[in-house]
Structure 1
């Protein structure tokens, strides 16, 4: 079972479009964006014009109505390129799906078409300084005031934070309610009281804008509520499986890419009168990574099929993320070792892949949370 069995001819044509876009619009500028800490808005407009944003959004809301595999194909091509700056997956795989699945007709008509065009950039506001994987622990409050809600709080580690126009924001509306009283809101970045904090300086993924966001008595109409009041936790749980699958897909592509250019390097690198590839240690190390990569790819593709059939559950998504995140970090570490001192030089893609890798064990739910989800599933009562 391979990715080629899962994706059809139309998906492969889309991949070619994505590769050409990456080569023309991202590759020449990414080094500068790593220094700047973000990508320009113009890139989003170009991506929208190229049909890379919101592929699975129905035509009624400005998309092409294609299946979600097109979005996953873009995730893979960005991962293979090694360029982490554009926050397209957050926009495509995390923000728009909430609006499409849970938004009112008015909300979908208002936000989805400009998001597909790249005119409006989305961010997802969940994580807080003291609440990451524990969504019920968030402190941001939304208090009803007549026909409005007044939002106060802080978010952190928000991708697209410096450039976003709209945030799908997790808040507390009834702290004592079952499920933590979490509600989701669509919050425009133009609203009074919304303040962008500092652009965070990270270990890796340096060209991807990651920021603090502050909400200082931000007044939003009740019509900005996404889904039911106090029903946000269930919505988050439904979409977190997709987010974790997206990360697993990215990790699978990174592992395969890193493995291939390590194979190419050791085949040419001379050492003690032979190539580095001639050493048994090199072959054994790469054989192990190759085997684990193939096993991981088979399961990721299985989860993609489940997702397309609307059967992917949180446990399978957690297992895919845990396996691929661990392998992602292992692969870049062991492959870098085979590059020797050159592997530590930023000019080599393996160095950037190493710096970019560590976040995968944290983002979208830590490894410990993934284990907790999987562990709990082992002891659920069996259905008759």
Structure 2
């Protein structure tokens, strides 16, 4: 067995753990059965979940046996949040999300070979438990005093909204998951985020009380951004792993736009390159940060891991065409739609374009300039482009030949100078 704990620590991936020496010995001496859980509280996993999936993959590649739990039961309850009570989703919705999330996880872990991953659903054992069984066999092992001390519970209790008994009981349900998985599959390690530490230790404590056995928990740190904004968020919202919710183009752009101060940290967390390779990238990047070498390496690897090589190549080709003046007509319509959706946009009718829409008006409509007079100056100075083709003359007009296929609509890409881009969506085209 490899010293995977030292590798994880070198990548700054371990924020908290139970007895470190005992955990290290266990990971060195045997193939450990471990699990990580995901609650189906949305139709897709997001960037924060990706940290946990890849953490499990690292453990698997080091010779340990992963169990991925999708919480069909805990997803019906919802982990307490600082901000307030969750809205309970209908059972049929949660059931559908369970299947979607299972299919996402299955792409990242190996389900064959000597350390094959397994999928489990806590509804299989929680759904069979009566309220009396839950209170007598599980609830009696939890101290209310300790439950009240959990940070999220304490914060909610001191807020104007308080916390429901339903969400208060969540940590008991998660603790019971560890107990059941220990009994059913010999699982002795649970992993998760540091914000879940109270829930993780509720499981280790329950196994110790009921089975008189020592099991472990290990938590990754909260991933932060140097500018203070939340990791995994953009102006458009959450970055999802589902391509229908966040396109491969937008996903790759998230990584390409990583702050110089963050990118090496992200490589350690998300990349499967060796630490020596990452150090080499860091040295070369710091000598020439304008090349964005580190961001490109990160974006290519992670986008390919999540969306595949073909989608990655298309996303990078679209970015090259948009920002380097390439041939836009060569981009697949769905990729062009995703790429232009990230730009400032305006909308015109196909009839207006067919009638000869002035380019100056199009620039103003797309928000590239503040006024038509400013657009006319750009045309006069030779700094205006339509679909990467320079346009001259203040009276230049668009035609239907300028409309590009982009998903289920048409689009015209406009640019002023080298970097100011916008898109004109053509309705009815």
With normalisation by structure 1, the TM-score equals 0.22
Which structure: greater helix fraction? 1
With normalisation by structure 2, the TM-score equals 0.20
Structure number with the bigger relative contact order (C-alpha 8 A, sep ≥ 6) is 1
Structure exhibiting the larger radius of gyration computed from Cα positions? 2
